[in-house]
Structure 1
Amino acid sequence: MSNIAATLKQQKEEFVSGLTGGSVSEINAVTSVATVAIVLWSILQSRQSFFQSYGGLAFVVDYSLNVAAILLSVTLYSNSPLLLCLLLAAPAAVVYVLPPNRTSSRRKPRVPPRADSKTAKQLDPLPLKPFLTTYRASMLVITCIAILAVDFRIFPRRFAKVETWGTSLMDMGVGAFVFTAGLVAARPVLKERAAGRSVPVMRRIVGSLRHSLPLLVLGVIRLLSVKGLDYAEHVTEYGVHWNFFFTLGLLPPFVAAAQAALAYVPSYAALALVTVGMYEMALETTGLKAYILTAPRVDLISQNREGIFGFLGYLAIFLAGQDLGMFVIPRKLNPRSNAAPGAERNTLLLTMGVWASIWCGLYALSTSYSYGFGLVVSRRLVNLPYVLWVAAFNSASVLGFCIVDTIFFPAFYNASDPKTEREAYLTATSRVLRAYNRNGLALFLLANLGTGLVNMTFNTLEATRFTSMAILVAYSFVLTVVAVALDTYEISIKL
């Protein structure tokens, strides 16, 4: 037992010394590239209506800003992401100071500052909001790029998933994927509440199994293909047989069962904290942490202990995302409010800012050695600080995209009828990002298949910088073309 404790202590000391994973500041610097690219896209659209007539040039620029820029930030510019931000910010400043395209601006729909009560009733109480589309799609693009780029030497090892302790870009990616899934899952719950329906827990669980089955099947397919093709894998990531699709597939029924607990806790956020808090207590006060990290793999449970026990942390992340969705998706925070659209938007921004601050504060409390609990982030354990880190980062990201949205496309929030609102939504969102958002899970599956195909075809570890970039650009471009093609033909693949 003393040897186990010594091993855990040494691993923590390595993390504190900076020997494992990348720093939070590096992750923020890389993801800031996506934000600056969105700002440049927004300026081109709002000032010059560059993407209003969507042709070949518009698609190339759209892809370059929202996909290729992210690819560059984790490869060629991985050591100087701030330089890439400056290279994107410079043309943004130039375009912003240029006179706006008056011809295009005259074609834009004019909307009154407020909608009258009769018309407002026709608006969807749960509209598609541009900043949510942008946020969700950007996280998906980063994830799809990273799962292949990690196999090349041009992708820094510090961005790959850490072994046990620490933070990295890909550690955030997997958490962000679950968080966004939770955010989207708030929509059907809001629809039920708006309709005044109360679905029994067992019926809700049975219904959720319909969404789980395809994901569980994909998990089995991935398991068989990985074992059959002898594909490289890290057992300490999820276990011997477990994979991310099993985690995604088991979330719906467990979340459905958790609905019953809302009679005793005030919100999904509270339920998330209770769930991960109890799990963290078990890690710290029992032998569970040592079991997960050091136990021999002798049976089915011990072989897949990371996936089985870490699922509790992912469940908490999903619930935290669902809590955010409960107030960012609706048109109004208070359905009975008669406040002007501008006031509603400001209230939403303030509420999002408060919650982002709460998650950041809790994360700081959990990790501080001076005035907190002194815990260390571990994606392998999916422990309390990891859950809080993911919730804080993603809440702040959603807030950032909402601020950009508010500055450049206020017309969406002042729309007076569904048609005008739809036009404003299309104007305020990238065609590429809309396409990724529309078929997110299907594209994630396609990205996994593409990753496997590339690894079976090329020796990625021996690829030169030129070859690596050529493959990654081709991969991301093909994935984007498929996404836009599906969107063009109005095809939605539900898994």
Structure 2
Amino acid sequence: MENGSSSAVVVVLPPTQLNDEEEEIKIFYDKRSFESLEQSAATLLLILSIFWGILIARVLTHNLLWLKFSIEYALIIVPGVLLVTVASDYSPHFVAVMIVLSACFIFASKALNRAQNRMHFDLGGNRPTMFTLVRALTHLITAICILAIDFNSFYRPYRKTRRFGAQLMDTGIGLFVITMGLVSRRSTNNAELQRQLFYSMPLLLLGLARTVSIVMIGYSQDEHEYGQHLNAFFTLGLAKLIGSLLSRLARKDIQLLPMAISLLVVHQLGLSLGLSDYVMNDELPRSTFLAANREGLISLPGFVAIYLLSIYFSRWLLVSSSSTLLTYTQIVNKLKRLLYLVIINWIMVICSAYAFGISRVTCNLGYVIWIFAIMSTMLWLSLFAVDFIINSVLPLDPMRLTDANDAEEQGTLLSNAKTKAPGNEPFIICQSLNMNGLIYFILANVLTGGVNIFFEPEERSDEASVLILLIYMLLATKFVHNLYIRGIRLA
């Protein structure tokens, strides 16, 4: 089915049930429940494949002073490009091998015993390593896919779905909103609110610039994603803006939870009562602004709910101790609670796939739960694999670590007093993307446009497409890496 669109069942009611003896046609779209669950499993396997590349790079680059970027590029980005193109069938095999190797590493290194004997576990303050990794994964996968999809070598089942489905590219906007919320805080006063609103402005301006440029150059945009005029930048900016305004109404972080759930329930109720069909019906004209942009506007409450939930989730995850230094008992309890949440989320994904379906285009309840299931899974794996296992076997030298989080908060150059060897800390690519994520995303979009204009990607062979993708990712990633090692944060 083209673009993963859902089939529709047309029911014609008998004339006795109709007004003025006219036939009334009502459309019920297939939720593709079981197929969506299969797609979500394939998506998770692909994300895990790239994630394990990050873990391997952490182990192999321990105590290295040089070549960290090259090794991480070879272990993270090269497999990422291959697995969405010519090697798309091998994600399950790659994950299986990595699980076996991970088990061997844990057993051979006696990692569990080492962890138990540690005095404390440093999660890294308000920006723990697990947040850094999941944010970087989101940026990397999105950057790869926005260009790869233009090549014939791209694995077509990873494309965005038109109505219901859970493909790899459906995760993009949802994961971006979550990662944006994970590093945000509830606005507790007007000054903080103004700051959050200020940070949403660049996204809205970028959305406007993209819309104007598309109209001027006559570039076609898939109106089934966000509508004729809206785009992902508008969704991100509006979700942050509206979410920040709503968070100001909460007096405590815990109040964000019922607020977000109430918004999500009302949103799903509206979708079930007809808004979902209104968004998905291709036959309806786009004669007004609302009709022309119904995908982006009607999905917005769901993304705002994701933003509020992710702020609460971040606070819930970090609130268990007043210090960033956790004892063995504390981190084990944190891992247990997070694992329980992961299991509950995936059970809810299965239930919601059959009850509501999973739809990115409307950001329905099923989509929100699915996105949180992916995010909670990756956070648990990051916490367990990096903070609990690898750092117990290969402890980091604190004198070599750069306090990038402080620089990100302040928006200034890194302090020389806080770093001994800039660029020598672990996860150098992930750190680079976190410091200048917006610049990276903009640069990836600009390079994608250039490739489309000058290289005619639809005419390239598989080999040529992989080569172009590798060069494209090298240029974008190396640019933000150079900014990072110089301590420069732009956006």
TM-score under structure 1 normalisation?
0.80
Paired position in structure 1 for 2:201: 213
In 2, Cα distance between the equivalents of 1:480 and 1:70? Answer: 13
Q: Is the 8 A contact 1:205 1:253 kept in 2?
A: no
Paired position in structure 1 for 2:374: 393
Q: Is the 8 A contact 2:435 2:484 kept in 1?
A: yes
Aligned residues: 448
In 2, Cα distance between the equivalents of 1:348 and 1:359? Answer: 16
Q: Is the 8 A contact 1:432 1:480 kept in 2?
A: yes
Q: 1:225 aligns with which of 213, 236, 245?
A: 213
Gaps of 5+ in 1: 101-111, 193-197, 369-373
Q: Does 1:407 align with 2:394?
A: no
In 2, Cα distance between the equivalents of 1:245 and 1:338? Answer: 33
Relative distance call for 1:417 and 1:411 in structure 2 (3 A) is farther
Residue 12 of structure 1 aligns with an amino acid whose one-letter code is D
**1:420 positional shift:** 10
Q: 1:310 aligns with which of 289, 296, 299?
A: 299
Please report the RMSD computed on the Cα atoms of aligned residues, expressed in angstroms.
3.6
**1:235 positional shift:** 0.4
Q: After superposition, what is the alpha-carbon deviation per residue over 1:237-257, rounded to whole angstroms, capped at 9, x for unaligned? A: 000100111111112321122
Alignment identity in percent? 24
In 1, Cα distance between the equivalents of 2:254 and 2:183? Answer: 20
In 1, Cα distance between the equivalents of 2:128 and 2:374? Answer: 20
Q: Does 1:234 align with 2:222?
A: yes
Paired position in structure 2 for 1:474: 471
Gaps of 5+ in 2: 1-9, 13-22, 111-116, 404-417
After superposition, where does 1:39-50 map in structure 2 within 5 Å?
Answer: 39-45=55-61, 49=62
Q: Does 1:289 align with 2:271?
A: no
Residue 462 of structure 1 aligns with an amino acid whose one-letter code is E
Q: After superposition, what is the alpha-carbon deviation per residue over 1:159-217, rounded to whole angstroms, capped at 9, x for unaligned? A: 0101111110000122111111111113xx4xx8xxxxx414xx554433311221111
Paired position in structure 2 for 1:33: 49
Q: After superposition, what is the alpha-carbon deviation per residue over 1:275-329, rounded to whole angstroms, capped at 9, x for unaligned? A: 11110011112x322322223211111111111111111111112221221133x
Paired position in structure 1 for 2:113: none
After superposition, where does 1:84-163 map in structure 2 within 5 Å?
Answer: 84-85=94-95, 113-114=118-119, 126-163=125-162
Q: Does 1:69 align with 2:58?
A: no
Q: Does 1:323 align with 2:334?
A: no
Q: After superposition, what is the alpha-carbon deviation per residue over 1:334-382, rounded to whole angstroms, capped at 9, x for unaligned? A: 32x89952222112212222322333333233224xxxxx211111111
In 2, Cα distance between the equivalents of 1:89 and 1:183? Answer: 28
In 2, Cα distance between the equivalents of 1:354 and 1:97? Answer: 24
Q: Does 1:429 align with 2:439?
A: no
In 2, Cα distance between the equivalents of 1:461 and 1:255? Answer: 39
Relative distance call for 1:88 and 1:473 in structure 2 (3 A) is farther
Q: Is the 8 A contact 1:22 1:159 kept in 2?
A: no
**1:273 positional shift:** 1.9
Q: Is the 8 A contact 1:114 1:414 kept in 2?
A: no
In 1, Cα distance between the equivalents of 2:436 and 2:258? Answer: 31
Relative distance call for 1:59 and 1:89 in structure 2 (3 A) is farther
Relative distance call for 1:415 and 1:485 in structure 2 (3 A) is closer
TM-score under structure 2 normalisation?
0.81
Q: After superposition, what is the alpha-carbon deviation per residue over 1:15-40, rounded to whole angstroms, capped at 9, x for unaligned? A: 3585x897112112211212321232
Per the alignment, in what secondary structure is the counterpart of residue 183 of structure 2? Answer: helix
Residue 143 of structure 1 aligns with an amino acid whose one-letter code is T
Paired position in structure 1 for 2:234: 246
In 2, Cα distance between the equivalents of 1:54 and 1:484? Answer: 15
